[in-house]
Amino acid sequence: MATATFRFHGELAEFLARGRRGVAFEQACARAATVKHAIESLGVPHTEAGRLTVNGQPATLSRIVREGDAIEVFPHVAAESAADEVLSFLADAHLGGLARLLRMLGFDTLYDSAIHDREILALAARERRVVLTRDRELLKCREIMRGCFVHATKPEAQLREVAARYALERHMQPFTLCLHCNLRLEAVEKTAVTGRVPERIAERYAEFVRCRGCDRIYWPGSHWERMREMLGASLGARVPVR
């Protein structure tokens, strides 16, 4: 056993027992426990740890905890993990609203209301998707290399959290994915939609896109405008037309 002092900063406190929030506290750790194991046994999923220090020096989650260590763990800071890579996501079965908003912004987001945790773990291990969940036990699984605990309960607030953590504004391509199938929409000739959309819509709009999965036709009508406004309000940023 090694007894170390832990201190968790910012929103990480929410994962801790009440008396341990916002203060440094001592904890005995299993022999040869890594920092990852130690913080997870305290309730904090490894995916939520951003920068961490041991005795004031930068450290990683694989560091073995030694007697007398002072360990400080900080949450991810906005956009810290946002390289130039465009991220794709996997939303758990409870985050359908968030998945839909991410698709509206053009982010490839797998979602199935019947998905089982086993499938989430298999997909997470196979694809480099960020697993979005409010289930901290799921995030503790070692298959999950990239995960994000979503604190908020309302989809728009959840989107704001995810957008801030991954700097999503830089990569959004609104209205390029089917909201139902998560497939990329393809432009279709106006003649191809005749009879498929109301006549006044066909007259008024020049651009139409189609999902090859479900064959739905989309156009930049008032519903897109409403979605843009809602997304803009929830991100606190301007959402481009497309």
- Where do contacts with Zn ion occur on this chain (CB under 5 A)? 178, 180-181, 211, 213-214
Of the candidates 210, 5, 34, 175, which has an alpha carbon nearest to the alpha carbon of residue 105? 175
Closer to Zn ion by CB, 82 or 99: give it: 99
> From the CB of 242, what's the least distance to Zn ion, in Å?
17
Which two structure tokens, joined as six digits, stand for 55?
A: 């005795």
Closer to Zn ion by CB, 121 or 188: give it: 188
> From the CB of 17, what's the least distance to Zn ion, in Å?
45
CA distance 79 to 165: 5
Q: Do the strands 2-8 and 217-218 form a parallel or antiparallel pair, or are they unpaired? A: unpaired
3-state secondary structure at position 96? helix
> From the CB of 106, what's the least distance to Zn ion, in Å?
14
Which residues, 6+ apart, have CB-to-CB distance to 81 below 8 Å?
165, 166
> From the CB of 213, what's the least distance to Zn ion, in Å?
4
Of the candidates 107, 137, 178, which has an alpha carbon nearest to the alpha carbon of residue 40? 137
Closer to Zn ion by CB, 148 or 178: give it: 178
Q: If you count DSSP H runs as helices and E runs as strands, how many of each does the chain have, helices first?
A: 7, 12
> From the CB of 160, what's the least distance to Zn ion, in Å?
26
Closer to Zn ion by CB, 121 or 217: give it: 217
Closer to Zn ion by CB, 166 or 218: give it: 218
> From the CB of 209, what's the least distance to Zn ion, in Å?
11
Which residues, 6+ apart, have CB-to-CB distance to 194 below 8 Å?
202
DSSP at 169: G
Please count the CA atoms within 13 angstroms of the CA of 22 that sit on its side-chain side: 2
Closer to Zn ion by CB, 127 or 186: give it: 186
Residue keyed to tokens 């506290």? 25
